[in-house]
Amino acid sequence: MTYYSTRDAKQTKFYSAQIIKQGLASDGGLFVPEELPAITEQELQMLCSKTYSERAAYVLSKFLTDYSMEELMQDCEAAYCEASFPGGAAPLKKVTDSLYSLELWHGPTAAFKDMALQIMPRLLSRALVKTGEDHTALILVATSGDTGKAALEGYKDIDRIKIIVFYPIDGVSKVQKLQMATQTGNNVHVCAIKGNFDDAQNGVKKIFSDPDAKKQLDKNGYILSSANSINWGRLAPQIVYYISAYCDLLNAGEIACGEAVNVCVPTGNFGNIFAAYLAKNMGLPLDKLICASNSNNVLTEFLETGTYDRNRKFHVTMSPSMDILISSNLERLLYFVSDAEQTAAYMAQLNQEGRYTVSQDIKQKIDDTFVGYCANEEQTAQTLKNFYQAYGYLADTHTSVALHCAEQYRKDTADQKKMIVASTASPYKFAADVYRSITEKEASADTGALQDLSALTNTDITPPLCGLSEKPVRFDRTIDPAEMLEEVYRFM
């Protein structure tokens, strides 16, 4: 399987190990496979009797053709082992008669990013060998909270890899901040940025496309790589859990083979939902993909009008991992429904004017699959409370945005197909907001909120979040976005 950049009309070819190492194409585009491999009904039935690791290795082998099945199996077994994902990697919980929560947060950092970031360092490590690389890989991450911690956990103390994480100072929860500030490992660095997530992400993108920085790093024995969802090594493992969830529905007798289901995904950078799109286009019987946004509803508007406009007020919400105005992976969708030349033109417009409008033809293709909904803060809190009281289901704030959107979609349409909602974080990761949503009262203090929520709901604190406030803080630097490159040099 070969890969291209979304912006390269000449279609220069790359192999999977190369693109996993490189992260972002040198023209600023994102890597995409030349074609999508198929997944047939027979294969789905075959996968039904397999473990999550086996399903993952099987699906990944279709994309990462320069990795052997043995290598993939070894990495998947290690990534999705019982110690990292107690009780299984992506359990599907039945919430109502026709709505299922795909819980993607049972990993080491209690957010869905673990699903990809437990395996990606292993794939990168092999990619360095496969490509004959003699430099150290320096992973540069911009995070709205969950990616940073998950990447730090995935990459810590991995040989010949260093990682530096930038996060917006006021854009992450206290639990998230503490998780990152207390990170262990000898090859890690964490730094706060005065600004929002887009400032952090733009800063990282700028360093990636800076030829002088590249030279400087090269001289010192480093190559840059990314762990953001713009890296294909992040995206490919996310396809797996949609296929796995479908198998679980089959196994539970909830659907017949071939029966179409809908999927609703709380969306920020458009990575998770794009993985569902890829699964659908491989042949998984998915029908509508409901793109759920919070008050930063740039995607809702785009899916409604065909105009993507990032010139708008940025809202800090209680679902901070979705507080994003530039959803990077949307570029991959544009490529799939148009071509490289068109994609490059839209991205240039986005860069210069902060907006673009897609053609009617492209909009139609997107409409065939996607529909956008959003939830404001009040709706998020209300839905969280309703699901807890009516169904005994405790969701985090991000999942709650999706639950609201899934319900709204069903009210607006006659579509009663079974619905999988991607659940992206443990409720304990956003304990203070979850507690307030249910009780309409403040929890005692932010990390005390974990205890309060546990007492209120009679559930256990998600293990990775226990004892966080007692861990020593190792990182407390805050800088201007303009100083990011210097910070990288300092760390190097």
Ligand X SMILES: *Cc1c(COP(=O)(O)O)cnc(C)c1O
> Can you give the binding site for ligand X, defined by CB under 6 A?
111-113, 146, 229, 266-272, 321-322, 398, 424-425
Could you tell me the smallest distance in angstroms from the CB atom of residue 435 to ligand X? 17
Using CA atoms, how far residue 205 sits from 14, 227, 484, in Å, is: 20, 12, 11
| Beta carbons within 8 Å of 445's beta carbon, 6+ residues apart | none
Beta bridge partners of 422: 102
| Beta carbons within 8 Å of 64's beta carbon, 6+ residues apart | 1, 16, 17, 20, 72, 123, 236
Maximum CA extent, the chain: 61
Task: With beta carbons less than 8 A apart as the criterion, state whether 100 and 249 touch.
Answer: yes
Q: Which is nearer to ligand X, 33 or 427 (CB)?
A: 427
Q: Which is nearer to ligand X, 262 or 423 (CB)?
A: 423
Q: Which is nearer to ligand X, 61 or 399 (CB)?
A: 399
Could you tell me the smallest distance in angstroms from the CB atom of residue 196 to ligand X? 15
Query: How many other CB atoms sit within 10 Å of the CB of residue 378?
Result: 9
| 57-91: b (≥16 Cβ within 10 Å) or e | bbbbbbbbebbeeebbbbbbeebbeeebbeeebbb
Q: Which is nearer to ligand X, 22 or 231 (CB)?
A: 231
Beta bridge partners of 226: 140
Could you tell me the smallest distance in angstroms from the CB atom of residue 326 to ligand X? 11
Could you tell me the smallest distance in angstroms from the CB atom of residue 352 to ligand X? 24
Could you tell me the smallest distance in angstroms from the CB atom of residue 146 to ligand X? 3
Q: Which is nearer to ligand X, 67 or 155 (CB)?
A: 155
Could you tell me the smallest distance in angstroms from the CB atom of residue 388 to ligand X? 18
Q: Which is nearer to ligand X, 145 or 195 (CB)?
A: 145
Could you tell me the smallest distance in angstroms from the CB atom of residue 322 to ligand X? 5
Could you tell me the smallest distance in angstroms from the CB atom of residue 243 to ligand X? 17
* Token representation of residue 243: 């296929």
Residue whose structure tokens are 């209680």: 318
Strands of the sheet containing 161-168, edge to edge, are 222-226, 136-142, 161-168, 188-193, 478-479
Would you tell me the crossing angle of helices 120-130 and 232-251 to the nearest 10 degrees?
130
Q: Which is nearer to ligand X, 146 or 487 (CB)?
A: 146
* Token representation of residue 371: 């529909």
DSSP 73-95: HHHHHHHT-TTTSTT-SS-EEE-
Q: Which is nearer to ligand X, 75 or 396 (CB)?
A: 396
